[in-house]
Structure formats: C-alpha cells, structure tokens
Structure 1
Amino acid sequence: MITFKDFLREESDPVDAGEFFHREAQPFINKAAGAGLMYRGFVDTDYIKPYAKITLPSGKVVDVGITAVRKDRRSRDLPTVAHDAFNTWMKDTFDIDGRTGSAFVLGEAAEETASGYGYLYVVIPQGEFKYLWSPKVNDLFRTYVNSGIKDHLHRLTQSGEMDVFQSIVNATMDTLDYRDTDLPQALQSTSEIMVECEYLLVVYETAEVVAALKEVLK
C-alpha cells in the first residue's frame, strides 16, 4: 500500500483496477469475500481529494479519490450525552469508536438509501480497518427513540445520574446483536455499518463502476 503523501508525489499513469485495489485494500477484499460493495452519500465532495486513476476491465479510466475518516465526529441528530454513551459501549465492548471515529456506510440492499445523503460513491477502506454493525439496527437514532432511552435522558441528566443513564444504554445495546464479524452478511443487509480506518478510497458510483469493482474485488 502506498501512503497518501507518497501517491500525491507521483505522476502515475492509470493503474489496472484489480492491481490497484489488491494493493490498497486487500483487508477489505479478504473480509468482504466478494459479497458486495459499500456505499456512502457525500453532500460535500470538497473533502474528497484526487488519489489515482484506474483502468476498468472495459478499458475505461476512472478517478479514485481519498478522504480521511474524522476522529471527532458529532451526531447531527443524537444528543451529545447519548452519542457519547453509545460510543462508550462500543469502545468498551468491541474496542471501536463506532460513533466518534468511524465512517457510516451502507451495503448493497441500502444503496438507494445511501444516495439520499448526497452524491453516491462506492467506498472502500484503505488498508486495515475495523467495522461494527447489527442486523437489528438500520439507524441507531431510531433505536434511541423507540427503545425508551430517549425518555430516560432528560430525567437522568437533570438529576446528574449519568452512570444510571450509561447503564440503561448498555443494557439496551447488549440486546441488539452488534458484531464485528460477518461482513458479507452486513454488505447484503440494510443495516448501517460503522467503519473505523484512516482513509476511505472512493469512486463515483455508476452502473459500469459497480459491475467492474464487483469483478475485480475478489
């Protein structure tokens, strides 16, 4: 794997798509086992920087971008207290910063949902990565509302019983079947997948790109 800075220093010709991804994303290829791709919608594409050009099996050349995964993410919908409590459980249970230091992506069955968040890209973790998902959770905000956690938040915040609130969050999360395994199943689900890595490789989604990447990511 070539580092981001090293690649930016090179004036390289297009690279064969299979060669490129087997060099840059072998951990994803191994874990996904050909089950599908990850998708993400980007409202602001300024965060995506040029990284490489790849040649698809058809001979077409397309751009690959790269974007850093934020390590200080704050939720747009969840109150900070709940956001941090969920992250604490994920860190304690799976050693992953699922809410504060991961990118949220979706698999094959939720590609259309991903497109609702902005310009649709295929996203692939560069190098080693961790992931977390649950077959019972499409969106953790809905779980926060529907599980009753939301109803406890105001009362316990007002009384300063944050340890009690964390216990309630922990008890709920323990029932939701979160796992850091079975990526092929996750890619065929509608569940949100939290991916912790340094960088995501991104390719603008088209039917030709999707078909080509499914062919070469084996």
Structure 2
Amino acid sequence: MNNYLSSLKQGLINNQITLDKATAQSSHKLLCNHIDSLIFNIVSIASIITMINSSKTIKKPTIKIVNSYINEKCISKKMTGGTVLPSEYFGINSGAYNSANPTGDILNIDFASGLIRPQIGGGGKNTANNYIMSKINEIINYYKLDASKVIKADLCKIINNHISCLMNFLKSNNKSPLKKDDIKKIIKSNKSLDIFK
C-alpha cells in the first residue's frame, strides 16, 4: 500500500464510513490503488495535452481543458438541507444562546500558566496533499515536463475533488459495513468514479 493509507483511513472515519472487518485490508488496498490510478490519470491527461500542443510546460489553459474533460460533478440527486436561519428566528429556543450553555472556546487566556493562546491542532490534510503533490511531481518528471506551483495546486485540487466525490458515494451507500465487492460495485456503477478505467 502507499503513503496515502493513513489519510484514507482518516477520511473514512471523518465521513463515518465503516468497512467490513474481514475485508478491511483489501478494501483499503483497493481504495489506495484507485486513488493512485486517479492521480496518474489526471496528471497524464494534462501532460498528454501539453505534449500535443508542443509545449514543455503545463499551463492554465491545459488545466481548464482537463477540468472540462473530467468535470463530472459529484452531485447527489437527493434533496438535502433546510432553512439557513436559526430556530430562534422562528421563535423556538434551541438553547444555543443560553448563558448556561458551555461554549467550545479553546482560545481562553490562561494567566496562571502564562499562555496567551494554546496550540490548536490541525494540519492532517497536509500529509495527504504532500503525498498527492509528490505523485504529481513524479508523473510530471516522468513525462519530462514542467509546471508551476499554481498549476500543481490546481491539479491537486482536481484530485481532491474526485477523492471527496468517492467518499460521498461511499457514504451515501446504504450498506454498512462496506465490503470490498461493494466498493468495486460503487466505483464501476458511477461514471464519475470509473471514468478513467
């Protein structure tokens, strides 16, 4: 498996997607391989378009073409959401503005310990993006092309959108826990996920 495994596991947890324990390792391997092929295919499309145009550098118009080629939006056909107004607007007390309601204020000043602002966690997405960026660089070097940081960031954004789309489709599946065969079926049945096969 690849370095994306820890980020993949965290993404499954964040999206509340459970995998069957008997096939969890093979499911992780399947998803990692799918993400690897997704990265390779997206960057390869950009590279091939660049070479067709007799250029050595991937440019913004190429990214637009790549985006239009693979722009299968991850849209759920189910209607979701509701009002954007708080329940207080309609005269119903939700308790959110109650003085006894404990808040999640993590930036309290602690004069006793001399802390003005405690350290805030985060940055978990960086490991996934670092892995994706290293794969993008590897593939661009394979094709002997150049790309600016902005172009690489755009490619990373396209890839992350497709990974989010995959997570949304896995989450919207009614079966829980998911087995390896269920994941294969979801990928094969959806054109936006299986577009590069």
Identify whether the pair has TM-score above 0.5, normalized to the shorter chain: no
TM-score by length of 1: 0.24
Structure richer in helix, relative to its length = 2
Greater strand share, structure number: 1
The structure with higher relative contact order (CA 8 Å, sep 6+) is 2
